[in-house]
Structure 1
Amino acid sequence: MSENVSTNPALAAQQNDSSFDNVWQELKWRGLVHVSTDENELEKALAGDSLTYYCGFDPTAASLHLGHLVQLLTMRRLQLAGHKPLALVGGSTGLIGDPRASGERVLNTPEIVAGWVQSLQDQIKHYISFDGENGARMVNNLDWTQGISAIEFLRDIGKYFRVGTMIKKELVAKRLNSEEGISYTEFSYQILQGYDYLQLFREYNCTLQFGGSDQWGNITSGTELVRRVEGKTVHALGTPLITNSDGTKFGKSEGNAIWLDAELCSPYTFYQFWLNQSDADVLERLKVFTFRSREEIKELERSVKEEPFKREAQRTLAWDVTSLVHGEEATRKVIAAAEALFGKGNIADIDEATLQSVAAEVKSAELTAENATAINALVATDLVSSKAEARRAVEQGGASINNTKVDDGEALIDESAWLHGKYLLVRRGKKNLAVITRG
């Protein structure tokens, strides 16, 4: 396991909103409480002395995504309130996979899972602090499960679970009633997660676990196991699954997850995702994904109502989240690139990775240097439906290459115009943008 060192300078500037009586009240205002164990007792615990809490992340991919960011920021809010986080990356549960509504998971090799464990641990260090009296600790459930035999596990842990209760868990019940059913492997996942809570309670006096509300059945398997084995009451919290105002799933862009890894989702794409949030959704996003205060968000709400064309709330959201995830320098670069794309800066300053991201988001096509005329570019990218329409666009002054108006649509585009030797930005009118990649 790598060293537990925080890597994000943005952590130092983060703080909870002092206008709330306690962190529980702030969590509720931000919409982060969907379900919990005894609310009054949990509020008292969070308003009292420092407690230890944990949230688990299973390595089912090489990167975390926006759903995980909800949990990471919730961990940070509790840490800022003086409580101590345990970040659990599931080296053993990642080998099993929690039940999904859509069917059985494909099991990955131990080598792949181990690599993903390391990747997720490195990412988590970016969002919570490992310094100070309540610095976080990284834990891996493989450390306490790999040495247990099947007999020991069934005798010492399995005996505390009741099958009647286990099959009533929402996802388990769905799978049992499906044509495919559910394997014993995935059915047993909740026992493993329950054992995690028991182990962390014993070793670190951890008394709160939280996660997405879709994990509530697994989470409460832990509270019940601690009660049965140790005779102690511990807490649990389920955050809501974030959806758009129209009820669709949040965190998807053209069918793809919004990953926190820049290699899987570029800073440009990431920034544009937040910038394109609707007026109906942006205020709730500010509450969940930023550390803006209640007063600041109220002012942004006024802007949304009175001056929506300025999109101040969206720009604030995009800046805050992108600079948190990718850093301020990268965020400034993508803002400058977006402005340059529409003629407000030097287009030659846009780096190649950003141009590649732009090409993935707009209409694009491939041309060789020998075929690269403005007319061919307009047609290839479907900015026009025919060469005749392309000629009219050029004649009317409505076509440009790299933000320079085209005068001769039949002329080959000069070699020096290719950005990074391989890209051309093609535009019809002010808003219709496309990218030509050199073939």
Structure 2
Amino acid sequence: MAASCVWSACGGRQVRWSRWSSVLGSGRLSVLLRAPFRCSAAARDSLLSALHRRGVLKDCFPESAAQHELPRLLQSGPQTVYCGFDPTADSLHAGNLLALIGLLHFRSAGHNVLAVVGGATAQVGDPSGKLRERERLSSAAAEHNTRSITDSLWRIFTNHELLFCPESARLGTVSVLNNAGWYRDWRVVDFLSEVGRYFRMGTLLSRHSVQTRLKSAEGMSLTEFSYQLFQAYDFYHLHQLHGCRLQLGGSDQLGNLMTGHDFIHKKTGEEVYGLTVPLVTTTMGDKLGKTAGNAVWLNRDKTSPFEFYQYFLRLPDSTVESYIKLFTFLPLAEVEKVMEQQRRDPGKRTAHKRLAAEVTKLVHGKDGLETAKRCTNALYNSSIEALEQMDDVELKELFREAPFKEFFLEPGTTVLDACRRAQVIPEGPKGFQMITDGGVWFNHQRASNPEQVLVPGQHILSNGLSLIRVGKKNYYILKWLRPTNILGRVRPLAGGQAKLH
């Protein structure tokens, strides 16, 4: 569903976007690189060559045509490229991010991109890289996940255009589609009759993802085996309706890309192409994602901007150069300058900070990056100023496991009173002694006098909050309220919303 313009909310403002369209429906990181992507000499300055130098491209299919014909096709004018994202969870994760960044590179070069959310195929289940079949996803769950991931994709496309593309007029179009839209009216018999006849069992059985599962104790269901047909038809459908001739995916998707190419070539006689990006894996070689239980999510409610920022900030020194090329849009000349600064003074971690900032800004926007930096200063630099600037949401994200409690501030409330009301210390002499021994901290300052009355600016920040730490790791967040003259209503000491207790 094309549109000359849409209105998109960004950071509370309404921003007018042109040439956009949307069809909406109901451990550590390391990159495994195999044979390098090679471009012909004539295409050495092409987009594909630039992506190869960054390490973004891994495999191509069909190899000969993609190496020689595809660069010329991309240079001949705007083309359409797509990448699929199955909504098996309600958020994408860092393992999906590299493919999405690949799409953004194509869009920056003036090509049109399609992000396809697999509201239908998620219910079938992709067996690629899986040791056993996924649990069945209900249509209601698929619809919920599709909406959430669609919102996330638009957020990242928006951040990219606003924050990384000074010449937005040169960008290609972007569409977010749901493949449930073109399967809804298909009947099983009709689909098999019209589509299934173009596939050969020997070819389908030879795919690596199929062979791996057939040799396992778990085996493979007919539902999973049919996934190749659906992804191939997705490519064909997009080729027919949008002129899409290029599919991008993770390297574990190469078999599915090949099946789509074969189907389109048999049915139309036209040439299409597949490109893969490296898999994002743990240092042990396991695929990073939901199945492995090590996902770094792109949605704030699952991985906060602070946690996301810290993940990239803590990468091993040996991987930071490759990751700053893969996950940022910095020119390679600037990457080299950053790495030179890193080599001169490794302790400053210049490259790590730049990488974490760039990726956090892409995924969570400027506000998300500022949140991540405030949380970092509050937690690791013991900054009182940073604590005072934080709102309730940021504090809850920073101290995700910390209890959050609200109390009326009564005159004469002492450190001991506050700790007992919040139940952060044991009752009786043991709790009193814990404070006396220096085991309790208010806002990064040791509170060793149990009888001291709470002092605004010291025990209570200007935003009406107190951050209490007991021992080394146990955090508690207190929000102090004071009554107004209207019965039954309360308000915090400074800003925000308060609940009635």
- 1:21 aligns with 45
Correspondence for 2:270 among 214, 225, 232: 232
1:157 equivalent to 2:190? Answer no
When structure 1 is superposed on structure 2, of 345-354 and 70-79 the one drifting more is 345-354
- 1:288 aligns with 326
1:34 equivalent to 2:58? Answer yes
- 2:445 aligns with 404
Tell me the CA shift for residue 144 of structure 1.
2.1
- 1:241 aligns with 279
Query: Contact 2:288/2:295 (CA < 8 Å) preserved in 1?
Result: no
Supply the distance in 1 between the matched residues of 2:314 and 2:346 (Cα, whole angstroms).
13
- 1:104 aligns with 133
Tell me the CA shift for residue 255 of structure 1.
4.6
Supply the distance in 2 between the matched residues of 1:183 and 1:248 (Cα, whole angstroms).
24
- 2:208 aligns with 170
- Letter paired with 1:159: R
Aligned runs of 1:345-356 on 2, under 5 Å? 345-346=384-385, 347-356=387-396
Aligned runs of 1:5-404 on 2, under 5 Å? 21-37=45-61, 38=63, 39-99=67-127, 101-128=130-157, 134-243=172-281, 247=285, 249-250=287-288, 255-341=293-379, 342-346=381-385, 347-360=387-400, 372=419, 394=438, 400-404=441-445
SS at match of 1:128: helix
Q: Please list the CA deviations of residues 191-228 of structure 1 after superposition, one character each: whole Å capped at 9, or x if unmatched.
A: 00001111111122211001111111112110010111
Supply the distance in 1 between the matched residues of 2:478 and 2:245 (Cα, whole angstroms).
58
Query: Contact 2:419/2:425 (CA < 8 Å) preserved in 1?
Result: no
Query: Contact 1:260/1:325 (CA < 8 Å) preserved in 2?
Result: yes
Supply the distance in 1 between the matched residues of 2:188 and 2:282 (Cα, whole angstroms).
44
SS at match of 2:45: coil
Query: Contact 1:244/1:281 (CA < 8 Å) preserved in 2?
Result: no
Query: Contact 2:321/2:339 (CA < 8 Å) preserved in 1?
Result: yes
Query: Contact 2:442/2:466 (CA < 8 Å) preserved in 1?
Result: no
**Normalized against structure 1, the TM-score is what?**
0.82
Go from structure 1 to structure 2 and tell me whether the alpha carbon gap of 1:61 and 1:5 turns closer, same or farther (over 3 Å shift). farther
SS at match of 2:281: coil
Supply the distance in 2 between the matched residues of 1:50 and 1:392 (Cα, whole angstroms).
71
Query: Contact 1:370/1:412 (CA < 8 Å) preserved in 2?
Result: no
Q: Please list the CA deviations of residues 308-332 of structure 1 after superposition, one character each: whole Å capped at 9, or x if unmatched.
A: 1101111111211112221212322
SS at match of 2:245: strand
Q: Please list the CA deviations of residues 138-164 of structure 1 after superposition, one character each: whole Å capped at 9, or x if unmatched.
A: 322222222122222111111111111
Query: Contact 1:72/1:128 (CA < 8 Å) preserved in 2?
Result: no
- 1:383 aligns with none
Q: Please list the CA deviations of residues 234-285 of structure 1 after superposition, one character each: whole Å capped at 9, or x if unmatched.
A: 1001111023566455579x95422111112111211221222221121222
Go from structure 1 to structure 2 and tell me whether the alpha carbon gap of 1:303 and 1:173 turns closer, same or farther (over 3 Å shift). same
Tell me the CA shift for residue 134 of structure 1.
2.9
- Letter paired with 2:136: L
When structure 1 is superposed on structure 2, of 96-105 and 175-184 the one drifting more is 96-105
Supply the distance in 2 between the matched residues of 1:330 and 1:137 (Cα, whole angstroms).
24
Query: Contact 2:378/2:384 (CA < 8 Å) preserved in 1?
Result: yes
Structure 1 unaligned residues grouped into runs of 5+: 13-19, 380-385
Query: Contact 1:87/1:138 (CA < 8 Å) preserved in 2?
Result: yes
Go from structure 1 to structure 2 and tell me whether the alpha carbon gap of 1:179 and 1:250 turns closer, same or farther (over 3 Å shift). closer
Supply the distance in 2 between the matched residues of 1:140 and 1:50 (Cα, whole angstroms).
23
Go from structure 1 to structure 2 and tell me whether the alpha carbon gap of 1:104 and 1:415 turns closer, same or farther (over 3 Å shift). farther
Supply the distance in 2 between the matched residues of 1:127 and 1:365 (Cα, whole angstroms).
31
Tell me the CA shift for residue 57 of structure 1.
1.2
- Letter paired with 1:79: R
SS at match of 2:156: coil
Go from structure 1 to structure 2 and tell me whether the alpha carbon gap of 1:182 and 1:67 turns closer, same or farther (over 3 Å shift). same
Supply the distance in 1 between the matched residues of 2:207 and 2:437 (Cα, whole angstroms).
61
Go from structure 1 to structure 2 and tell me whether the alpha carbon gap of 1:88 and 1:24 turns closer, same or farther (over 3 Å shift). same
